[in-house]
Amino acid sequence: MDWDDLRFFAELVRQGNLSATARRLRADHSTVARRVDSLERALKIKLFDRLPRGYVLTAEGERIAERVGALEEAVFSIQRLEGGEAAVNGRVRISAPPAFASLWLVPRLAALGRNHPGLVLDVLGATAAASLARREADIALRLSRPEDGGLTIRNLGRLRYGIYGARTYLDEVAEEERVFLAYDEALDASPQQRWLRKFAGDRPIVMLANDLVFLISGARAGMGLAAVPHVLAEDCEELRCVAESEEATRQLWLVYHPDIGRSARIRVVIDHLVAITQCLR
């Protein structure tokens, strides 16, 4: 039996379909299917019923899944203990909201790389929360306080939002005729989205997007007004803030597993993240 097949099996159990599993494991559909087929042949057991709506565990598959879950957790706990050495070398995976990661975080990691050339920084711009227990990331920056037990959680400060538009747009379009750019329905419950809708009132929303980068690009192009964190707009000379409110504030949380926090390379990255976010407190 190829032990790596178990990793694909465990993720398919969690996701329920090939597409989501392939995305999680950064593989393609055929690789996931081939791995599961290989495991079934090795065990001489049918683990899944292949149905149009996805992969459903058989009774035998459920029994195997229980044992694989315990095995997987044991492996992850060992992995979290690795790298307790004094040298600051190796890979550190950081998960963060996509727009925040690309526009704000990455430029501020340059000094960290220069000071520790042995570090390899793997930055994941992820809308879904990466699992720290399963080592999908070593460190996560999140805009919602995690509910997961057993994690170390630290508040890094607040992201304050303003309503921003292109200077040319604001100069040329009367206030009552201005239009708005907003998140799609998936983020309707976010504080900045609720505030923007209230601020817009009866004025139209002309574009919806699932990523803040798109909203910022639209605002810079003069498509309308968008709710943007001040820290992401401060370097855009073509944007101007026309309103702000305490209603539109998000807390930024630093999250990691306490086991992995003993690693020298993890501690260096954590300390750097705490230092560069001082402006948010």
Q: 14-23, 128-137, 184-193, 248-257: which has the minimum mean pLDDT?
A: 128-137
Mean pLDDT, the chain, rounded, equals: 89
pLDDT at position 218: 97
Q: What are the beta bridge partners of residue 123?
A: 94
Model pLDDT for residues 122-149, shown as the tens digit of each residue: 999 877 777 777 778 899 999 999 887 7
pLDDT at position 87: 61
In the chain, where the domains are located: 3-81, 90-156+252-280, 159-251
pLDDT at position 86: 55
Query: Which position has the higher pLDDT, 86 or 91?
Result: 91
pLDDT at position 74: 67
233 pLDDT band, cuts 50/70/90, is: very high
Q: Give the domain 90-156+252-280 fold.
A: D-Maltodextrin-Binding Protein; domain 2 (3.40.190)
* pTM score, whole prediction: 0.70
pLDDT of residue 199 exceeding 90, the answer is: yes
pLDDT at position 147: 81
pLDDT at position 80: 54
* Structure-token match 């994690």, residue found: 151
Model pLDDT for residues 236-246, shown as the tens digit of each residue: 899 999 999 99
Q: How many residues does the chain have?
A: 281
4 pLDDT band, cuts 50/70/90, is: confident
Q: 32-36, 66-70, 226-230: which has the minimum mean pLDDT?
A: 66-70
The class that CATH gives domain 3-81 is: mainly alpha
Assign 126 to helix, strand or coil.
coil
pLDDT of residue 120 exceeding 60, the answer is: yes
The class that CATH gives domain 159-251 is: alpha beta
pLDDT at position 214: 96
Q: 13-22, 27-36, 256-265: which has the minimum mean pLDDT?
A: 256-265
Q: 96-110, 134-148, 210-224: which has the minimum mean pLDDT?
A: 134-148
Asked whether this chain's domains 3-81 and 90-156+252-280 adopt the same fold, the reply is no
pLDDT at position 76: 63
182 pLDDT band, cuts 50/70/90, is: very high
Q: What is the mean pLDDT of residues 209-236?
A: 95
Count H helices, E strands: the chain?
Answer: 11, 10
pLDDT at position 235: 83
pLDDT at position 78: 60
Sheet holding 226-229, edge to edge: 119-125, 90-96, 139-142, 239-256, 152-166, 226-229
Q: What is the mean pLDDT of residues 235-257?
A: 93
Give CA–CA dist 102/270, Å, rounded: 18
pLDDT at position 160: 96
pLDDT at position 132: 77
High-pLDDT (> 70) share of the chain, %? 95
Side-chain-facing half-sphere of 112: CA atoms under 13 Å: 25
pLDDT at position 203: 97
